[in-house]
Chains A and B, each alone.
Chain A
């Protein structure tokens, strides 16, 4: 089933977006990362204009971290306090914050994940509104689709995280970040089959 996205200006398969956002939501709930660093490139790969992908993912990340925060909060109220400080300080994305808190501050992973999610929640709420005001690039239809998949995925991810031991948790997170980095690095060394690319600069839209 296809649905037309009013801001991205193209139709997209509903099932594909749900599956994609579900998978990313699972990873998001499992590791306490926003998931944006996975979802944004995936959406651009599906021909969604980069500005729309970035802005819409901000809304999706806000929603799925809301779920995550509520899943974690009963076990870790501290998360809200640390998360608030993080948000005010404007510390960067979850995928940097989480390893930092685990390794340098020796904070238990469950608390770290809750903290990170809360911080992401606050930042991404602001980011969504700012994108909507300055670029008009938030696609509400795409956001809802991503959210439905994302929040459900995040629920399962959050549950799975509780059943994981700390060592395998660290290994999985390391592998995830490493594989994303490797994928981009390898691409640089392979001679491209099509050296040319065409973009419509955002100012020209």
Chain B
């Protein structure tokens, strides 16, 4: 069986590299930086892409499919499950997801299920649940891990930090496409990566990566920096401000 798997893998690589010569992807972001100011309430970026074909590219029977995956900064996430313990419900089991993106947004031009098989989606890490599957495993052997991962995705979706837009990619022509990406205000600051994959008939043809960053600017940036660089001063200023406001209120209210 081992040689069969090796043969299949070699075939898949051969197909992928053979196809990579046929089409190339060109990607661009409407902006590479989101600046957080005091009235920041989230932002929107647009990913633009072009499927480039040269004269020798074979005509394809299947339409082009695009999958855009945006991943935010990685943090350790802890998922806990409440279980019944006697008459009460408390957190009992927990699972760690180290280095997991806090923001994850997948956009496609049509539902993933129409583009490819479930197995392909798992193997190529396509879709919200598959995007961060640990590498090396072809199937989720541990059903508990999958349950926790699905719960993680569901809860993060509820917070608008994870999202899947099955019609989020729009083809402007047969080769040009765009995908808007909503960045909510709660999305963390840091580096974001945008992965774009081109599929046709369930086979990956080309991929491209770009990026952007979310940073604090102006007074927000200076306050956040000050809190780290001059922690004692920052603490004292905050407390003195607090006491001053407290004193001020009693003075104002004593007059009347």
Contacts and interface: CB of A to CB of B under 8 A. Distances in A.
Nearest to B96: A201
A141 interface: yes
A191 B216 CA distance: 41
B75 A205 contact: yes
Interface in A34-83: 47, 59-60, 62-68, 70-71
Contact of A143 (B40, B91, B238): B238
Nearest to B91: A197
A66 B243 contact: yes
B188 to A, nearest CB: 7
Interface in B170-206: 185-186, 188-189
Interface string B232-255: 101111110111011111100100
Interface string A114-153: 0000000100010011111100101011011001100110
A181 interface: no
A195 B245 contact: no
Contacts of B40: 4, 11
Chain A interface mostly helix, strand, loop or mixed? Answer: helix
A65 B247 CA distance: 10
Interface residues of A, number: 56
* B-side interface size class: 35 or more
Contacts of B155: 194, 196-198
B38 A7 contact: no
Given A140-B241, A147-B246, A198-B77, A10 B232 contact: no
B98 to A, nearest CB: 8
B246 A66 contact: yes
Contact of A147 (B152, B224, B242, B250): B242
B246 A128 contact: no
Contacts of B113: none
B84 interface: yes
Interface in B71-129: 75-84, 87-91, 102
Contacts of A190: 89
Interface string B35-66: 01111111000000000000000000000000
A195 B82 contact: yes
A191 B89 CA distance: 7
Contacts of B232: 129, 132-133
Given A63-B242, A196-B80, 19 more contacts: A4-B37, A4-B41, A63-B243, A66-B250, A67-B247, A68-B246, A121-B243, A125-B239, A129-B235, A133-B235, A136-B228, A136-B234, A140-B227, A143-B238, A151-B248, A194-B155, A198-B151, A198-B152, A200-B102
Shortest Cβ-Cβ A-B pairs, 9 listed: A132-B235, A66-B246, A63-B242, A204-B76, A151-B249, A196-B151, A70-B250, A129-B235, A63-B246
24 contacts: A7-B223, A7-B224, A10-B186, A59-B239, A66-B250, A70-B247, A125-B239, A128-B242, A129-B239, A133-B231, A133-B235, A141-B223, A147-B245, A154-B249, A188-B90, A192-B82, A192-B89, A194-B155, A195-B83, A195-B89, A196-B81, A196-B148, A199-B77, A200-B102
